[in-house]
Amino acid sequence: MSATSTVPVVRTGERAGQNNRLTEDQIVVLDHALVVLDGVSTVTDEQPRGGWYAGALGERIANLLTRTPRADLREVLTAAIGGLARDHHLIPGRSPAATVAVARLADHQIDVAVLGDSPITAIHRDGTVLQLRDDRLAHLVDAQPQAALYRSRLRAGHGFDEQHREILRELRDFQNTQVNRPGGYWIAEADPEAGQNAFAATWPAEGLTDLLLATDGITEAVDAYRLLTWPQVATLSRTAGPDAVIDAVRDCEAQDPDARHHPRYKPSDDAALAHWLFAAPHLGCP
């Protein structure tokens, strides 16, 4: 049976990184599309604004995808970002922000777009793994001396102390000089041009078994912790649900509370996973 001969099943999981704050990740589920957003949080304990922005932007993207189901995804992002900035008088450089990942099932294809570090991963029956990801911010940050410094301090056992937070504030200040500009990185904020700079692709739906949209609270388990591969994420989510994937990430982090083995910004990040299950995975020759 082809991937387009049946409506895919959707499973989702979300969890806050800190017990005293609401998650700033958002998942939007439509009949023909999925949207995952990660609101950009502050280094301090200010009232989170990224979560509000992610929720408001997700609603606008959903409305546009419903009204114009075949529109170019970059145009959808551009219109949603611009409309939200206009209606709420958001100012570039001073606005809350969010990463965005959008996937849409259309005829015999999957249209995907990402803006920021929330990748989309497709897995096919033949074992092929396709991924659309945006690493522009990661490349910029990793080139800064503060990135090496905070990791070395964590490995040395200093933990998430005040100096760690000060280093992160310096990194955030640097990021603010690079946001939504050529040669920097692009993210959903108050400049609609960011939508035109999203990474986009179209993949065939035939033979697709799984489509995964995840925030960095999930992707760290694959990219940094080497805890799971993307096919293993899909298998665990299929058999036990997305929350089981989040449980595995949290267990790994709980065993490394000071981040000596897996240096990271915070003890645990917000995590969101949206899983489109298409045809059953290949189980070998009959």
Q: What is the per-residue pLDDT across 51-109, written as a single tens digit (0 to 9) for each?
A: 999 999 999 999 999 999 999 999 999 999 999 999 999 999 889 999 999 999 988 89
Q: Edge-to-edge, what's the strand order for the sheet holding 9-15?
A: 9-15, 271-277, 208-214, 120-124, 129-132
- Length of the chain measured in residues: 286
Look at residues 207, 229, 195 and name the one whose alpha carbon lies nearest to residue 116.
195
- pLDDT (tens digit per residue) in 216-259: 999 999 999 999 999 999 999 999 999 999 999 999 999 999 99
Which pLDDT score is estimated for 61?
Answer: 98
Q: Could you report the per-residue pLDDT of 155-197, keeping only the tens digit for each?
A: 999 999 999 999 999 999 999 999 999 999 999 999 999 999 9
- The helix/strand/coil state of 78 is helix
Q: Reading across the β-sheet that carries 199-204, which strands appear in turn?
A: 25-29, 33-39, 98-106, 109-115, 199-204
Distance CA 47, CA 168 (A): 18
pLDDT recorded at residue 279: 74
Q: Which element (helix H / strand E) includes 99?
A: strand 98-106
Q: Are 219 and 228 in contact (CB under 8 A)?
A: no
Residue 245 and residue 234: Cα distance in Å, rounded? 9
Give pLDDT tens digits for 131-143.
999 999 999 999 9
